[in-house]
Amino acid sequence: MKITAIIPAAGTGSRYSNKKNKLLENLKGIPVIIHTLRVISSVDEITEIIICTSMDLQDQIHNLIREYNIPKTKKIILGGQTRQQSVFNGLREIKNTGEFNLVLIHDGARPLVSQEIIRESISTALKKGAAIAAVPAKDTIKKINPDTGEVIETVDRQSLWNVQTPQVFRLNDIFGVHQAFKGDNMTDDSALMEKAGYKVYVCMGSYKNLKITTEEDLKIAEGFIG
């Protein structure tokens, strides 16, 4: 069983107001992207890592990988204009080798993922074909009229989960749906699987496994590290 990890890391970070790219921000003295890669690389089941990033970041990420010695990072390729395009570029890179069975997709800006979450995602995908990390919604959720702001209903949150990464799929399945829906602009790979009629299964993520989107998120992550 060979498993490759695709790390989409080409986003512009438009909601991150600091001029520095969020992936390069220091989190307890280490760049966010390096925290992410260290955890992914430390999981024995992962064979290799492919990073899909922007032209501006390719050299900087390459230098950081050498500096921090991330051994499983085999390729740093050019991402796309959207997250979906970046992941598809990574999938095509893997497909060309013809060697891999499972693909794990994880956001470069989720530095606090744990080995346990990664392994559980892989285990679930091996048994059921497609797995995503997620956590139960904590807040009361209301459906509203987007034009007027009027509340339509209060949704039962027992069936609502906040989706995270990693997400793990069979290579042929996820490659096929990306090909079929390459004109879409989904920010979640499992949504493409669902659209194609595949069953996707949830495994427990963690509320600490947050995505760094704003400066506040970086501060929260620093608090979790302690």
Angstrom distance (rounded) from CA 129 to CA 125: 4
Q: What CA–CA distance (Å, rounded) separates 190 from 169?
A: 9
* Alpha-carbon span 137 to 84, nearest angstrom: 25
CATH number of 3-225: 3.90.550.10
Cα–Cα distance measured from residue 202 to residue 114, given in angstroms and rounded to the nearest whole number: 16
Domain ranges of the chain: 3-225
Mean per-residue pLDDT, 85-89: 96
Rounded mean pLDDT of 7-23? 75
Preceding peptide of 166 cis, ω within 30°: yes
Written as six digits, the tokens of 3 are 């498993």
Question: Coil, helix or strand for 223?
Answer: helix
CA distance 50 to 79: 11
pLDDT above 70 covers a percentage of the chain that reads 96
pTM: 0.94
Strand partners, 138: none
The pLDDT of residue 207 is 97
Pairing of strands 130-136, 201-204: parallel
To the nearest 10°, the Cα dihedral for 112, 10, 13, 157? -50
pLDDT value of position 10: 86
Q: What is the pLDDT of residues 20-46, one digit of tens each?
A: 789 999 999 999 999 999 999 999 999
Residue 18's contacts (CB-CB under 8 Å, 6 or more residues apart) are 25, 215
* pLDDT tops 80 at residue 191: yes
What digits encode the pLDDT tens for the residues 88-142? 999 999 987 767 799 999 999 999 999 999 999 999 999 999 999 999 999 999 9
Q: What pLDDT, on the 0 to 100 scale, is given for residue 226?
A: 77
Q: How many CA atoms lie within 13 A of 212 on its CB side?
A: 33
9-23, 133-147, 150-164: range with lowest mean pLDDT: 9-23
Name the residue among 88, 114, 2 with its Cα closest to residue 49.
2
Kindly give, in sequence order, each residue whose CB lies less than 8 Å from that of residue 178, ignoring residues fewer than 6 positions away. 84, 87, 88, 91, 189, 192
The C-alpha atoms of residue 221 and residue 226 are separated, in whole angstroms, by 9
Q: How confident is the model at residue 18 (pLDDT cuts 50, 70, 90)?
A: low
Q: Give the pLDDT of residue 97.
A: 73
Residue at 63: amino acid letter: N
What confidence tens digit (pLDDT) does each residue in 168-188 have?
Answer: 999 999 999 999 999 899 989
pLDDT at 14 over 60: no
